[in-house]
Structure 1
């Protein structure tokens, strides 16, 4: 019995151009800072998505309570759309779902988004639910591992939804470079996977992880009285670079594989330097990570959904044959690196 990814569905809020965000909002608030302007221009992002665009509503002075009410308003319809798309692509209905797992670190309410979706989708009353919060950008991969375990044990279909609305956490603009980087990168999205027992295109083979507690302060997501505040050090790519090759080679070796044998790479594009670092440390040709760069360019860093969006883009680009291995990789607070080995079926 294996668990396989059978379908992927993504829902996106309205698009906003990176240049429009800089020209229409951040440039004035940062007093035309040339450094900030270079950060926005060099972020590798051309357009993003936002349920609340700074061009329409500046939430930087909103309280956390006000932001959570906006999350409650926008998360349900976006998540419903993503799950509905994935189920339709898999040829399933809501009544077929044995478990719904929801990942989000950008909003909280109770009853949670998982309960709200169970109601709006009309899942079976005995469908199991799991809500995973505040793990950040890498959360999709440990969540996928948990979903795969459910499918393998219970032999029922499951849905994983990753939904993030970072636009609700825009902070007051300051010249602090880390804050400018956050404002230049993040975007809203919802992506859902349908995972089935022994049916589907990508088998979930194994998951590995590395956490470096000595670098815990380099990436944080702090709850404040005015939303959640990201800290993102420029040292993050360097620290990840120390761990990525050993972590990947160890997971691949457990399954008799080497880096050159991997046929597809779905790497979370936390920023251009992170993508470049992964490519350098693994000795990958530039085209191996083009799916990651494309998602960053067209959608920004959407936190937990992003690696699933890259995987979807990769599957559109690469004609995989049965048995071909694929590696998904994501990073986040901890400092944490997660890797999932998939195999085409």
Structure 2
């Protein structure tokens, strides 16, 4: 299998790293504070659910861009701050502190994304040929990557593209698009006579970078007692990553991208949704999603592998997007894969939680850094999102001079 392109992945640190137990304690304290001034139906049940999920989430630590979650000094909150007239409980038109506006949430997203973009590319002397920004948790225009290339003087040298609202699986189509852009850029250079041609574009190279930023904690609702929303708030965290996709193999640990697929599972369009709402983005997530995964993922992923002459047993690592522990378990069970081959997904869930589209890049980096996964190892990636969409790719690990 000839590689479509080559990939390196780098997680980007930012914000505050919290123990899961501290994050859950904050959510419980916030809900109890709401109850001091407003009726909260099912309060006790919600508090018990937080305790149960905190124990069963398989998460030890996770990151948030928002300092609010790092303390319980309510006078120092930013997004979850009391309005100027007080808590908004009596008189006036101000919303209460636990109903933060979408404006306030998006202001934090814009600030966070721009800072991450500048940090991620601070060491780059040369711009990428193309740069994609991926997020489903925030909107800002001009975007972080627009502001980056304007500040760096790259605006006339770098093509820009935003990939939005695809959800947890977005890293996969973004990577496939980045590979197509890099290959097309190199081919144009050959056609123009700027680079030597020949097999696999000869020595021509091009680079597309992908910046993924997800600030899931911006969309928490402190007053909720809805069980599904509580599950989401316990699982989802913030994350960022940078991918670099090139036509020629880079030095050091990397992957060759061999193939990619996308499919929509039958009769599942409303099983997972993600929409802007009055105060923040709102998700619906059916409890039947793990069952749909068990029922359908083997057929979709198996057909993808078969067109490459492979079976699941040929894979050394299965990089499953960890929507939660049940998603990893359901996928591994459906594909007949033991825990050892999904250990990188379990490790990222444990250390970072579900970071939406930035999670698979963290898993890919973990595989690249794992000396027990040798050069030449085959890695199958699979992720899920609204649709119910299943996506996947096939990677081969390389390193040093290994390019194929």
TM-score by length of 1: 0.92
8 Å CA contact 2:264, 2:388 repeated in 1 = yes
Q: Distance in 2 between matches of 1:119 and 1:224?
A: 31
Map 1:9-158 → 2, pairs under 5 A: 9-26=11-28, 29=31, 31-32=43-44, 33-52=47-66, 53-56=68-71, 57=77, 59=80, 60-84=98-122, 93-123=124-154, 125-155=156-186, 156-158=206-208
8 Å CA contact 1:210, 1:338 repeated in 2 = yes
Q: Is 1:233 aligned with 2:279?
A: no
SS of the residue corresponding to residue 301 of structure 1 reads: coil
Deviation beyond 6 Å, 4+ runs, structure 1: none
Partner deviation per Cα, 1:181-224 (whole Å, 9 max, x = no partner): 01101111110011111213311111111213622222111211
Deviation at 1:320, TM superposition (A): 4.4
Q: Distance in 2 between matches of 1:10 and 1:122?
A: 23
Q: Distance in 1 between matches of 2:375 and 2:259?
A: 17
SS of the residue corresponding to residue 334 of structure 1 reads: coil
Map 1:194-343 → 2, pairs under 5 A: 194-200=244-250, 201-212=254-265, 214-343=267-396
* Structure whose alpha-carbon radius of gyration is higher: 2
8 Å CA contact 2:24, 2:50 repeated in 1 = no
8 Å CA contact 1:275, 1:292 repeated in 2 = yes
Deviation at 1:27, TM superposition (A): 5.0
CA RMSD across the alignment = 1.9
SS of the residue corresponding to residue 102 of structure 1 reads: strand
Match of 2:223 in 1: 173
TM-score by length of 2: 0.79
8 Å CA contact 1:27, 1:37 repeated in 2 = no
Any stretches of 5+ residues in structure 1 without a counterpart?
none
8 Å CA contact 1:13, 1:78 repeated in 2 = no
The alpha-carbon distance between structure 1 residues 75 and 160, as it changes in their structure 2 partners (threshold 3 A), is same
Match of 1:189 in 2: 239
8 Å CA contact 1:268, 1:292 repeated in 2 = yes
8 Å CA contact 1:209, 1:336 repeated in 2 = yes
8 Å CA contact 1:245, 1:281 repeated in 2 = yes
Deviation at 1:82, TM superposition (A): 3.3
Q: Is 1:161 aligned with 2:175?
A: no
Select between 197-206 and 162-171 the one with higher mean Cα deviation.
197-206
Deviation at 1:70, TM superposition (A): 1.4
> How many residues were matched structurally?
338
Q: Distance in 2 between matches of 1:321 and 1:20?
A: 37
Q: Distance in 2 between matches of 1:54 and 1:134?
A: 25
8 Å CA contact 2:127, 2:158 repeated in 1 = no
8 Å CA contact 1:11, 1:82 repeated in 2 = no
